Amino acid sequence: MAELRTQLGEDDDEDEPEYLQFKVILLGDGAVGKTSMATRFCEDHFAKQYKQTIGLDFFVKRVVLPGDIHVCLQIWDIGGQSIGGKMLSNYIYGSSAVVLCYDITNYQSFQHLEDWLFLVKRTFDKTPLPYIALMANKHDLAHIRAVKVDKHNQFAEENDLYSYFVSARTGDQVHASFFRIAADLAGVTLTKPELEVAQKPTKAELVNHPRNDPAHPEANADDIAKEKKCSIM
């Protein structure tokens, strides 16, 4: 995994902490919530109006891990239309982590992860793969999910991916998930209480969907969230 120790700041202030710096790439179809997850984590903000990312957006977030370890995450939010672009490999190359993102209410966005993962593996054909995670967004809409938890877990296991379930809308598990990614990259083992502290309180928000909306089929009552050892839900 690429790792860079850097001093943030132009002066030689001895009090300035030393940061471990990691490049984190967000990949996935358009409209799955990549930008929303990044802004929720970095700015604790959720924009209700969708705005398509053209090319890429760039975010920076600094976190302090247990043991007073300072980490700076450079988050590259790649536009969904980039999957066929010539620049995609350049964006991905040199990354410390790749987060494959999808919308649990959009089955096609999950199916397309095979293509995104293939591009990552092709980019790192002659070098070790980075840390790769599977992040399911819109967990607050679990009652109308189109991708069952079993499918998610199977894909993660078959491809040796770290697994996360989040909601950019409510903020649920977003901070804790990226905090866990930062810790994994820095080689820091987090305890359960430390992960709980990392999770900020969330505010519930009611969303009304038409009962017969074909875009949001009703979920099976048996399709409940199943927590795995490697998953954050």
Domains of the chain from N-terminus onward: 18-232 (3.40.50.300)
Q: What is the DSSP-derived secondary structure letter of residue 142?
A: G
Mean pLDDT of 35-55: 83
Question: What pLDDT band is residue 211 in, cutting at 50, 70 and 90?
Answer: very low
* Residue 96 contacts residue 3 (beta carbons within 8 Å): yes
Higher pLDDT, 193 or 105: 105
Predicted confidence at residue 223, as pLDDT, reads 42
Place of tokens 């890429």: 56
- How far CA 140 is from CA of 84, 93, 144, in Å, comes to 31, 33, 9
Predicted confidence at residue 231, as pLDDT, reads 54
Q: What is the mean pLDDT of the chain?
A: 83
CA 208/CA 15 separation, integer angstroms: 50
Identity of the residue numbered 137 = N
pLDDT at 216 over 60: no
Predicted confidence at residue 187, as pLDDT, reads 98
CA 59/CA 15 separation, integer angstroms: 25
CA-closest candidate to residue 158, choices 205, 200, 100 = 100
CA 138/CA 209 separation, integer angstroms: 14
Neighbours of 172 (CB within 10 A): 22
